[in-house]
Amino acid sequence: MSMMDFKTEFKPTTVQPQQIEGRSFEMIDEEIGPHPYTEEQYPIVRRVIHASADFELGKSLVFHPDAVQAGIQAIRDGKKVVADVQMVQVGVSKNRIEKHGGEVKVYISDPDVMEEAKRLNTTRAIISMRKAIKEADGGIFAIGNAPTALLELIRLVKEGEAKPGLVIGLPVGFVSAAESKEELAKLDIPFITNVGRKGGSTVTVAALNAISLLAEQV
Digit-coded pLDDT (tens) for 181-212:
999 999 999 999 999 999 999 999 999 999 99
Catalytic entry in 35, 50, 64, 100: 50
38-59 tens-digit pLDDT: 999 999 999 999 999 999 999 9
Q: Could you confirm whether 50 is annotated as catalytic? A: yes
Question: Which of the 8 DSSP states describes residue 196?
Answer: S
62-216 maps to CATH 3.20.20.140: no
**What is the pTM for the complete model shown?**
0.90
Count CA atoms within 13 Å of residue 39 on its CB side.
0
Residue pair 197/174 in contact by the 8 Å Cβ criterion: yes
> Mutual orientation of helices 147-158 and 177-184 as an angle, nearest 10°?
30
Phi, psi of 41 (to 5 degrees): -80, -30
Note down pLDDT in tens along the chain; length 218 residues. 455 454 556 555 556 777 888 889 899 999 998 899 999 999 999 999 999 999 999 999 999 999 999 999 999 999 999 999 999 999 999 999 999 999 999 999 999 999 999 999 999 999 999 999 999 989 999 999 999 999 999 999 999 999 999 999 999 999 999 999 999 999 999 999 999 999 999 999 999 999 999 999 86
User: For 20, which DSSP code?
Assistant: H
Q: Where are the domains of the chain?
A: 62-216
d(CA 143, CA 184): 12
Q: Taking a C-beta distance cutoff of 8 angstroms, is the pair 31, 186 a contact?
A: no
